[in-house]
Chain A
């Protein structure tokens, strides 16, 4: 599902976010990309959803070679995945329901199907009471839940989640992890970037540790510790 070979990313400011990184995530896997702030997790995910080009190396996602010069249709790649960004990227002039529905509208789903799927996702994320509320009236935690709901509603085979529970309380984090586990059991591939060592320790999935853009040795979940 995801293959990265010797991928490096250096920004014009000469900051190296990723250095000679090689990894593989097979279909149906749940993987934690673990590392402290600035370790390159977000850069890695941004490369995977086509927001950035790697400086060198090879990246293949869902069978699409993102590093191939002829690859231009980023939007088609993004339709094959659910993305949760740390800054949510919600439409501020639309309400909760409309924001979630938008992910289905752009891929041309029929209105009836959109209504049903959005209602189900709202219920799943505990947002049904707030479906008509403006995004601006929501707390940061609620906005994060909307962002998660939007990524889930399309039932994509791949979810890229960048710190999706960073500002959720323990109860909601538990609920979100439950949803992710259910999706994983149904065969969805989940790439979950986090710096929350406790969260990783509680969930027995493969961990890819990142330190200053380099992949560390594979660790058991219990051993994960981050030093800021």
Chain B
């Protein structure tokens, strides 16, 4: 078995060397097609991570009316904790709010000089349970909060998160529709290149068939050729994507540093890279299988 695979691999590599130009063209086309698909995957992956970060940070902030005593606040916290869907509550005093602003401003915190914490409202940060992140459920909590007289204003970014979530879904949808089309194109291209290779080796194949070579003995080298094309194409796509990613990191990130504070731009995780390389191989294999079905059968 091992010696047969060794033989098949040598034949596959010899075939590729003998038909270098069509093989390189196929690898390049697979590479470019997968690069398009992978670019969408990377964008969707980063948007999803961003969405997760925002979702995890998602909370409702209830600003309190001025002059609420500590006792009233205690009672209020207890009341809110008892509401359905509330996971944690955290009281932010005007001093906490000032300290937070100073930490965010960093070196420019002197901008706050002369401002008294007392002008900032005290607030309560309310984290909801995960199953309360949907619009309807949030509305339920909000309507309860609105009924509390000590609360002046309620802020939450749900609408924005939901719009963003739709955007992520759209990108994912585009990625898979495009992926489907590119998939068909890759199979077509690999199958056509291998048809060229097969017809250029027609005599050799017929000679093998003449002595009763097992169909697998004839086909496996072509399957391996498709597999190698797929692997190299996917590897090329992955390499180019990594270069593009680095270019984005080096050139674009500094320009948007302020806007993107705390938001990481990630490359695809190792599992996805492994899946994509395997996917490239499967595509190449399938393309060669299609070609062999049509051209490597014993003539009858």
A171 located at the interface, meaning its Cβ lies under 8 Å from any Cβ of chain B in the complex:
no
> B212 — which chain A residues lie within 8 A by C-beta?
74-79, 106-107
A52 near B299: Cβ-Cβ < 8 Å: yes
A89 near B299: Cβ-Cβ < 8 Å: no
> A140 — which chain B residues lie within 8 A by C-beta?
none
- B165-214 interface (Cβ within 8 A of A): 203-204, 206-214
B215 located at the interface, meaning its Cβ lies under 8 Å from any Cβ of chain A in the complex:
yes
B217 located at the interface, meaning its Cβ lies under 8 Å from any Cβ of chain A in the complex:
yes
Most buried by B among A77, A89, A99: A89
A117 located at the interface, meaning its Cβ lies under 8 Å from any Cβ of chain B in the complex:
no
- B277-300 interface (Cβ within 8 A of A): 298-300
A93 near B298: Cβ-Cβ < 8 Å: no
> B215 — which chain A residues lie within 8 A by C-beta?
75
Shortest beta-carbon distance from A135 to chain B in Å: 10
Given contacts A90-B207, A103-B211, contact A75 B298 (CB under 8 A): yes
A106 near B213: Cβ-Cβ < 8 Å: yes
In the bound complex, how far is the Cα of B300 from the Cα of A52, in angstroms?
5
> B204 — which chain A residues lie within 8 A by C-beta?
91-93
In the bound complex, how far is the Cα of B207 from the Cα of A183, in angstroms?
24
A85 near B214: Cβ-Cβ < 8 Å: no
Most buried by A among B208, B210, B211, B299: B211
> B300 — which chain A residues lie within 8 A by C-beta?
50-53, 74
- A47-84 interface (Cβ within 8 A of B): 50-53, 74-79, 83
A83 near B208: Cβ-Cβ < 8 Å: no
In the bound complex, how far is the Cα of B207 from the Cα of A91, in angstroms?
6
A145 located at the interface, meaning its Cβ lies under 8 Å from any Cβ of chain B in the complex:
no
> B299 — which chain A residues lie within 8 A by C-beta?
51-52
Contact of B211 among A50, A51, A78, A92 (CB under 8 A): A78
> B298 — which chain A residues lie within 8 A by C-beta?
50-51, 74-75
Given contacts A91-B204, A92-B203, contact A85 B210 (CB under 8 A): yes
Q: Convert A145-161 into 0s and 1s, putting 1 for each residue whose CB lies closer than 8 angstroms to a CB of B.
A: 00000100000000000
Shortest beta-carbon distance from A97 to chain B in Å: 15
A102 located at the interface, meaning its Cβ lies under 8 Å from any Cβ of chain B in the complex:
yes
Most buried by A among B203, B204, B212: B212
Given contacts A51-B299, A52-B300, A89-B203, contact A78 B208 (CB under 8 A): no
In the bound complex, how far is the Cα of B203 from the Cα of A107, in angstroms?
20
B210 near A78: Cβ-Cβ < 8 Å: yes
> A103 — which chain B residues lie within 8 A by C-beta?
211
In the bound complex, how far is the Cα of B208 from the Cα of A90, in angstroms?
8
In the bound complex, how far is the Cα of B87 from the Cα of A42, in angstroms?
86
Shortest beta-carbon distance from A85 to chain B in Å: 6
In the bound complex, how far is the Cα of B21 from the Cα of A20, in angstroms?
50
> B211 — which chain A residues lie within 8 A by C-beta?
78-79, 83, 102-103, 106, 150
Q: Which residue of B lies closest to A50 (CB)?
A: B300
In the bound complex, how far is the Cα of B207 from the Cα of A160, in angstroms?
15
In the bound complex, how far is the Cα of B286 from the Cα of A150, in angstroms?
35
Q: Which residue of B lies closest to A153 (CB)?
A: B211
> A79 — which chain B residues lie within 8 A by C-beta?
211-212
Given contacts A50-B300, A52-B300, A53-B300, contact A75 B207 (CB under 8 A): no
In the bound complex, how far is the Cα of B52 from the Cα of A202, in angstroms?
92
In the bound complex, how far is the Cα of B212 from the Cα of A50, in angstroms?
11
Q: Which residue of A lies closest to B299 (CB)?
A: A51
Shortest beta-carbon distance from A49 to chain B in Å: 8
In the bound complex, how far is the Cα of B201 from the Cα of A92, in angstroms?
10
Shortest beta-carbon distance from B213 to chain A in Å: 4
A75 near B206: Cβ-Cβ < 8 Å: no
Shortest beta-carbon distance from B216 to chain A in Å: 10
In the bound complex, how far is the Cα of B208 from the Cα of A79, in angstroms?
11
> A76 — which chain B residues lie within 8 A by C-beta?
212
> A85 — which chain B residues lie within 8 A by C-beta?
210
> A75 — which chain B residues lie within 8 A by C-beta?
209, 212-215, 298
Q: Which residue of A lies closest to B218 (CB)?
A: A75
B207 near A89: Cβ-Cβ < 8 Å: yes
Which A residues are closer than 8 A to B by beta carbons?
A: 50-53, 74-79, 83, 85, 89-93, 99, 102-103, 106-107, 150
Given contacts A75-B215, A106-B213, 11 further A-B pairs with CB under 8 A are A51-B299, A52-B300, A76-B212, A79-B211, A79-B212, A83-B210, A85-B210, A91-B208, A102-B208, A106-B217, A150-B211
Q: Could you pull out 5 A-B pairs where Cβ atoms are within 8 angstroms?
A: A74-B300, A85-B210, A91-B204, A102-B208, A107-B212
